[in-house]
Structure 1
Amino acid sequence: MPVKPATILAIRQFNRFYTRLIGLLNQHMLDSPYSLSEVRALYEIGHTDNCTAGLLTERLQIDGGYLSRMLKAFERDKIVSRRQSATDGRTWYLQLTAKGKRLLQTLDERSNEQIRQVLAPLPEVQQQEVTESMQTIRQCLGEKQPLTLQDLVFRHQLQPGDVGYLIYLHGDIYAKETAYNLEFETYVCKTFYDFLQNYDPGKDRVFLATWRGRIVGAVAILGHSATLAQLRWLLVHPDMRGIGLGKKLVEDALAFCREKGYRQVYLLTTNQQTTAAALYTRAGFRRTEVTPQEMWGHRLYEERYELEITTH
């Protein structure tokens, strides 16, 4: 995919800034006689079971000859020792000596203190923004670890800003994926307005999934009577699809319906939402009505699904 010149310029500007910042943090490498590369090597040795020279070369991306000279210096300073493998005489494991462990602990403490000094002038919200931005960069550029449901935080207490952000997500995602126009966002705004006007936590519930403080999934149950409820606003952010989030949200919503004694749940969707429809069907919903509509800039079919909840 083409990269815009402005994007390249922004990254280069950030690199210059961050290089200066790291230079200040690592000046004289925390008042020790060791270079940044040497401290990184000590860190890996201290935090890796059965660490070998080959493993260090791979992780640190450094020349083998340079690493060999570095390790000899560590052994001379009595901060690293070698231990022969009990199963393979050709393999030698690297480990910190007691002196090396004390050194690494001291360097860790100094590093932590420097970072505290950099971040301390910032309010807590900005500290969180900095760390989340760094995590995002790592996630996007090379350290991509598959997300799971365990990485997310789930809650159902509505907080200020939640509904506004849900409206934004609906407008943004549906515009990109189905080309719905502004009429759709107007519709979403109105439905949420009506919901908030009559919101009663005793019969209604909004289920939210968040990642790094941002909403990435949602669904709601609206109680219309003692026995009838509606499932609304099921949404899963594109980055979170494929991990079972939609299934969990629907399951949690239906568990709430059973808890409240609702006997029937219905929802309205369109024929374009095939993935969601499959999810509803697997949860036990059946399609009961199809109505042709012209709305949101499309000719489509509005579909009604219903679920009878049985008590055991």
Structure 2
Amino acid sequence: MVGGILKMNKKLKDRVSIIRSFNRYYTNILGLLDQHLLESDLSLSEVRVLHEIEKNEKCTSRMLVDILCMDAGYLSRILKKFYKMGLLIKEKSAKDARAQYLYLTAEGKEKMDELNNSSDEQIVQIIKPLTEIDKNCLVQNMTSIETILTDGANIKLEDITIRTDVRPGDIGYITYMHGWIYGEEYGYSSAFEGYVAESFQKFLLNYNQDNDSLWCAEHNGNIIGCIGIVGHGERAQLRWFLINPHYRKIGLGKKLLQESLDFAKAKNYRSVYLDTTSDLDKAISMYKRVGFIKKLETANNSWREDLTELEFEMEL
């Protein structure tokens, strides 16, 4: 900061400008929603408070302040309004006399149903003119915004769906994921992305659902992880094991790995092998925990200098 003004390079300035432009646009959208909700004598902020009370079991005013980043005094006035309207009751905690839990009354729940229906209809009208592709893209991008800004803090394993049908665009996107994740996290060159693309070309040309499978993990339509099994006679090869950084530490990697191994066992493969590199410590640790043993170690400078390629195998 110089003289109270933040100095920014052009790249950062352009990013800030785009984000601010989006904020102004979306504020107008929220204004339309707020105007609609005011017809029911409740503002958008008040509806958000009711929503959080309904969603969170044993909700307290302290929780609401933290969740909504709301001024405690302002929240207090909102809660008093709700008490007067008969929408809210409070109950003392049996374990902590200082804590008071907030619950919606029957009237409060009825009001939320009414507001949710109205809000749903408002959103339906906003997206109605869009094509199906644009609707999907809108939802996926909104999901990405929240996930990136929270670093996946609100994501749970049950939020993720896993499918095995290969759809148009899957292979291209997964190849792209390999390129940017390995490039950013491990400094791999674009040659690695070419290697992945070549491996997928062979997979598609020889794909046999009786022997091979590709698992795609999705969050609201976004592919955020994958793993594959490719048959080679009595052996199966585990390939393309990758998780978007924002979706790690929720057990998704363990789930994908187990599903692929269960598939290999069900198909009566004698063993499963995989190729990895020595710098993927967390992945190697996971492989070892489920029973993979290192069989081979060779130098590989194709994607980065001083890289060692490892082959692991597990008997089934």
Alignment root-mean-square deviation, CA: 3.4
Change (3 A) 1:8 1:199: same
Which digits, 9 at most, give the CA deviation of each residue in 1:25-64, with x for residues without a partner?
A: 3226352344444555555666677777776666662463
The residue type equivalent to 2:298 in the other structure is T
The reply on whether 1:258 has 2:265 as its aligned counterpart is yes
The residue type equivalent to 2:35 in the other structure is Q
The reply on whether 1:280 has 2:294 as its aligned counterpart is no
Q: Distance in 1 between matches of 2:98 and 2:297?
A: 72
* Greater radius of gyration (CA): 1
Which digits, 9 at most, give the CA deviation of each residue in 1:128-170, with x for residues without a partner?
A: 3333433444444469634332221111121111111121111
- Given that 1:209 and 1:218 are in contact with CA atoms closer than 8 Å, whether structure 2 keeps it comes out as yes
Change (3 A) 1:118 1:274: same
Change (3 A) 1:9 1:96: same
1:224 deviates by 1.3
The residue type equivalent to 2:247 in the other structure is M
Q: Distance in 1 between matches of 2:166 and 2:253?
A: 19
Aligned mate of 1:199, from 188, 194, 207? 207
Aligned mate of 2:171, from 163, 188, 191? 163
Q: Give 5+ residue unaligned stretches, structure 1.
A: none
Within 5 Å, which residues of 2 pair with 1:157-236?
157-225=165-233, 227-236=234-243
Tell me the secondary structure at the aligned position of residue 26 of structure 1: helix
Tell me the secondary structure at the aligned position of residue 4 of structure 1: helix
Tell me the secondary structure at the aligned position of residue 170 of structure 1: helix
TM-score (structure 2 length as normaliser): 0.79
Q: Distance in 2 between matches of 1:280 and 1:72?
A: 56
1:206 deviates by 1.4
1:96 deviates by 6.2
Q: Distance in 2 between matches of 1:301 and 1:89?
A: 61
Change (3 A) 1:134 1:206: closer
Match of 1:298 in 2: 305
Which digits, 9 at most, give the CA deviation of each residue in 1:79-130, with x for residues without a partner?
A: 4476675979998877766666655544443332222211211123323333
Change (3 A) 1:13 1:261: same
Match of 2:4 in 1: none
Aligned mate of 2:276, from 263, 269, 280? 269
- Given that 2:50 and 2:112 are in contact with CA atoms closer than 8 Å, whether structure 1 keeps it comes out as yes
- Given that 2:190 and 2:303 are in contact with CA atoms closer than 8 Å, whether structure 1 keeps it comes out as yes
Q: Distance in 1 between matches of 2:292 and 2:91?
A: 63
Q: Distance in 2 between matches of 1:222 and 1:243?
A: 26
Tell me the secondary structure at the aligned position of residue 165 of structure 2: coil
The residue type equivalent to 1:278 in the other structure is S
Tell me the secondary structure at the aligned position of residue 28 of structure 2: helix
The reply on whether 1:242 has 2:242 as its aligned counterpart is no
Q: Distance in 2 between matches of 1:147 and 1:103?
A: 28
- Relative to structure 2, which stretch is displaced further, 66-75 or 283-292? 66-75
- Given that 1:231 and 1:266 are in contact with CA atoms closer than 8 Å, whether structure 2 keeps it comes out as yes
- Alignment identity in percent? 41
- Given that 1:30 and 1:110 are in contact with CA atoms closer than 8 Å, whether structure 2 keeps it comes out as no
The reply on whether 1:4 has 2:12 as its aligned counterpart is yes
Q: Distance in 2 between matches of 1:204 and 1:95?
A: 51
- Given that 1:71 and 1:80 are in contact with CA atoms closer than 8 Å, whether structure 2 keeps it comes out as no
Within 5 Å, which residues of 2 pair with 1:101-120?
103-120=111-128
Q: Give 5+ residue unaligned stretches, structure 2.
A: 1-7
- Given that 2:224 and 2:243 are in contact with CA atoms closer than 8 Å, whether structure 1 keeps it comes out as yes
- Relative to structure 2, which stretch is displaced further, 214-223 or 296-305? 296-305
- Relative to structure 2, which stretch is displaced further, 245-254 or 66-75? 66-75
